[in-house]
């Protein structure tokens, strides 16, 4: 998985992740010397680079190389339990949207990676 490979290089531990139709949720533990803003920027940049390498047709859809929007939301889970954060991710999983749009049962939870057919 591209996201996990990029995370490991920076010492980021991905605890859980979900791919939605138009965004990604990631629950991660960061090294103390890495700011959340830098971590998000790094993960977005490296995952985009990897996707463009693996799936060359994406280049024609995003000719300027901007796969991700500049938007981001960063929150700390210090005020809630880790279990509650994971429940949030599960509740917002793309399988509900995927099924309702296609009429096809969504793939089983993939650990944050949607099948290519679900993305393209």
The one catalytic residue in 55, 79, 88, 98 is 88
Residue 88 annotated as catalytic: yes
What DSSP string runs through the chain?
Answer: -HHHHHHHHTT-EEEEEEE-SS-EEEEEE--TTS-HHHHHHHHHHHHHHHHHHH-TTHHHHSTTS--S-S-------TTS-HHHHHHHHHHT-THHHHHHHHSSPPPPP-SS---HHHH-
Active site amino acids: 88
């Amino acid at each position: 998985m591209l996201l996990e490979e990029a995370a490991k290089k920076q010492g980021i531990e991905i605890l859980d992740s979900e791919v939605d139709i138009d965004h990604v949720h990631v629950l991660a533990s960061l090294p103390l010397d890495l700011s959340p803003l830098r971590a998000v920027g790094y993960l977005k940049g490296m995952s985009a680079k990897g996707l463009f390498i693996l799936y060359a047709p994406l280049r024609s859809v995003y000719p300027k190389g901007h796969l991700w929007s500049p938007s981001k939301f960063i929150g700390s889970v210090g005020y809630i339990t880790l279990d509650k954060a994971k429940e949030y991710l599960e509740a917002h999983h793309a399988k509900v949207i995927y099924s309702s749009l296609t009429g096809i049962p969504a793939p089983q939870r993939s650990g944050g990676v949607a099948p290519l057919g679900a993305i393209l």
